[in-house]
Structure 1
Amino acid sequence: AQIWAELLGVERVGRHDHFFELGGHSLLAVQFLSRLSQALGVALPLAALFAKPVLADLATNIVEMLSRCGPQDLPAIVGVSRDEPLVLSFAQQRLWFLAQLDQDSTSYHVPLALRLRGVLDRRAWRRSLDRVLARHEALRSVFVAPEGKPWVEVLPPDAGLPVLEHDLRDRPDADAALLDLCREEARTPFDLARGPLIRGRLIRTSDGEHVFLLTQHHIVSDGWSLGVLVRELSQLYRAFVAGQDDPLPPLAIQYPDYAAWQRQWLSGERLQRQAQYWRNNLSGAPARLALPTDRPRPAEQSFAGANLPVVIDADLTRDLKRLSRQHGTTLFMTVLAAWAAVLLRLSGQDDIVIGVPSANRGRCELEGLIGFFVNALALRLDLSGAPSVAELLERTRRTALGAQEHQDLPFEQVVEIVQPPRHLDHTPLFQVMLAWQNNAIPSFDLPGLLVEAAGQGFDQVKFDLELNLCEHGEVIAGTLGYATALFDQATIERQRGYLLALLRAMVADAQQEVGRIELLPPDERAYLLEALNRTAVTYPEQQCIHELFEAQVR
């Protein structure tokens, strides 16, 4: 109950409380199991929490496991010597290899653009940035390969985070100059062997306003890490402005310690078990999702992209939560089922593989680290046999739980095991992504400053379609990203409409066949079935064929 209260942010947890009704989701479930194994020595499978989501039932299950097996020791992540060469994590190794293929690529930049309104203490700001760099070895990591094999070297703690400063206050073309600086920042590649792989630009636009650009390479950071960075920068800046010392507790371990532990832990029987799961699960999966595109697929994949906003209103969100509770799924699983059903209707394929990012921070000692932990899971959904909504939800739940139970095997190793056909024009295993942001990036809390996002976001995508969603208060909101080499905006607007129509139909009747749900709005249906099929045309009825022929000749 104490672990639930801490994770779910509630004061009291009763024995009859339900984990998911209190606000639990898949990511919190993984974090709960990590804390449970540390507190009681019980390695509980994720499916057990979904099967027994009420506290008293789960506690009974845990007691049974303890009486049967006794407490199990979880191997600790310990510090490794910095006198020996430091290894890359599996994820870093993949990105390092990709970077060698295109050293000028900016596809793996992690950008942050902020508008700071108010009085900025520039000295305290720069000191806060330098302190975050000194605190996290991941941000000071560089990747050298003297004999073709990459190793990690760590820059000294006093290296300082490089920040370029610009003053546009007296420029008549300040807006254009700001846009140029933003583009220049986005298009400047990193040198993985020299670093640092994080840099900033502080642009003064007026006496009371700055724009701050922070760019990191994905090989040292991920989405969760942005949240850690925002929290720590806020705490450090508040302390430094007030004349206080660094308030952050020292880190027990660093990312290079995790990388060494990962290679040791993911080996032997554990590696074989995970590898066998993915081999069985993805064997014979379709190499590509045959989506109808507005243009032929280019010979090499283009990463140029755009985004459309997606909002699932409060009423529909409430109904989706009710549907999820009734069928033992999370909101993520329910939306995943709907997205798969839309892709079935678009492609005509009933065997669909969708990529899902996993935070991959199942150990609580990793939660406060900046680094590249995120993994990609290939979820293969079976929509054959005309399933009902309820049946599809059950299949999706089984698939998602199975993948999350085996989420430790890095994606690049899954690709090596499955050996799908490889082509330059699309990504292996899946070309469509659903990212559910359970761990939303917190807002900056800087004294004397109003902080808001600046810029239009990043105009790049890694996949053909990328659905990014999270809960925002009473609604579910996010974006639908798409490859502009393949799709027009109007096409993606229609696809967004199909998804919303399908979600509304799912909550209305869970027993209906998914394949029979009406997706088309009345105007599109009328256009396809009537406007395009109008054959009535006026022609001169009183003339013979040879007279019409003569008229054509003339």
Structure 2
Amino acid sequence: MVFKQEELYSSNFSGLTMTARDAIEKIPGNLLPSEVEQPLSLWIAVRRDYPRNACVPSLVAQQAHEHPLAPAVVTAQTTLSYQELNRRANQLAHYLRAQGVYPGVPVGLYLERSPEMVVGLLAILKAGGAYLPLDPSYPHERVRFMLEDAQAPVLVTTSRLASQLEREAALPTQQRVYLDQDAARLAVQPTGEIEEQQATPDDLAYVIYTSGSTGRPKGVEVTHDSLLNLIFWHQRAFSVSAADRASQVTSPAFDATGWELWPYLTCGAAVYLPADELRFSAPALRDWLVEQAITIAFLPTPLAEHLIQLSWPRETALRFLLTGADTLHRYPQPGLPFTLVNNYGPTEATVVATSGPVPPVSEPLAEPPSIGWPIDNTSIYILDEALRPVPWGAPGELYIGGQGVARGYRGRPELTAERFLPDPFVQQPGGRMYRTGDQARFLPDGQIAFLGRLDNQVKIRGYRIELDEIATMLNQQPGITASVVVAHEERPGEKQLVAYVVTSPETQLTASQLRTALAKQLPDYMLPTIFVRLETLPLTAHGKIDREALPPPETGKILSAALETKEAGMAGPAPSPVREEAAAPTNAIEQQVAEVVCSLLGRPAIDVNANFFMLGGHSLLGAQLILRLTELFGVQISLHTLFTAPTVRQLAARIEQLLLERLATMSEQEAHSLLEQLQNS
């Protein structure tokens, strides 16, 4: 039986006009007749051609040839022209080729957000390799695992970052390219393009690691062809031109970084990198976007939700504020001078699979904004457990087919076969679809409503987290007999991770000990902010953990310090309340830290032993806290530190230790000046 029905849906921003086909040429034979008498939840991609005779490196080189002096990458301190960006990337690419980098070879890139990061990413592509971006804020053991698992023979970094990394992690044997120490060698490399054995659209462009439910992160392999589809859809949908100015704010290891770079650098636009202190403050970031005349910006959902609640000057150049990675809960207010666009897509679908503008509303709506329509050459299927299309409008699991589907997981053929399935709804040989684990349904106008996860995966700050990976790490700690981790959402869009643990009777664990142990293997966004001790985990009738029966972590009743007292046991499934006398600062450093925390949380005073996150802090406020303390004391503190030392007293002790280490390297006059400065601050 053939069932066809076509409708045309148009968005209110340029270029995104899509054709929805809620029926297919081939319907599985196991469908009952009653199930095909109504439209089915299938949107088969309509083919839209895009150039495939050139990959990212040649497209950037073309811009460098046509507009050599145009700005390509801009920071407060540096502007790289297209000519300079292309020249430096070519020199590094030739050097990488000499180290054995050819098409298909993964290359680790361990750099902070900077023009050098962009040069490094482009150079790896020019050499034919696939970049493996690594965030310097990640635990060093996790970075080591990714390099080893990806079998990356070359690492591009700096001597400073490498020395910090190797102090804590035994890295696999590999070639190192230090952008600072090897500067003289790089400077004498050819500045022209590598002509022989360039990457083709079928070759790998990058490998991005995501959280794994077994406790082992998995690397997603994405080809140039999938990346090109994203680039040309983006340029068409948002009318990108050389006159545009885009922002780059995300972590180097977040797949959205490529989305923030390549659609613009392949068409002559400029990419602006804000300073770190601006990335976590909505008002400061708004002012920067306005001052720099940014025309298109992507921001993770929590930050975007803050920005759309601010007042904006009418003269802003911003045309589109793109968001995604988390569930969007808010609609923009009428009068904003730009269009908010919600985007959805797992790493396995090359950043974005669906996209749509979010209409402004005067009154709050009960339903959250949709995730839009499929992008070019992308199919969306909503299926039941037997892989049959559900009726249009009914909930089911969301599957993604089409050009953006990744090659699979690096070195994980079993997992690849489990998540990347043959696409039964297209005639194309070798067509595959990715099983997302997300629940969704089609709305009457063809847009897609996101309904949540079907498993224990969550997203926090745009990062995909398998809660079972955290529990696996917890269960490896001595004395813990069972654990479960959940994402607790006190307010829409503000999630915190809560770990419930069962320990052996003789075990005396502290929350600080657990955080410190986990921090050696997990990035900060995966560290629980609250630990609750239970005698047993509640179970369902089928013997599975009953997450619905877990007691809520109520502020004021359950403290993250609960594990640090002998009275932290409980009777039944509820945790014991723990109450402590409020403690005041006992020295100047504690006093200054407490004042910064009070200012951020809007409190007149706090207990210096209270957990920052239990007082109402979250990751965005935490980033602001670390930036202020770094500026105040002049020492380098990482956001990771806040998760292992989340109280004023613990933070102050860390800062005091860093200050003592710094004083030991100073002359007597410099030390006296620093002490005087701290006393007067």
TM-score by length of 1: 0.27
Structure having the higher helix fraction is 1
Which one scores higher on RCO, CA 8 angstroms, separation ≥ 6? Answer: 1
Structure having the higher strand fraction is 2
TM-score by length of 2: 0.23
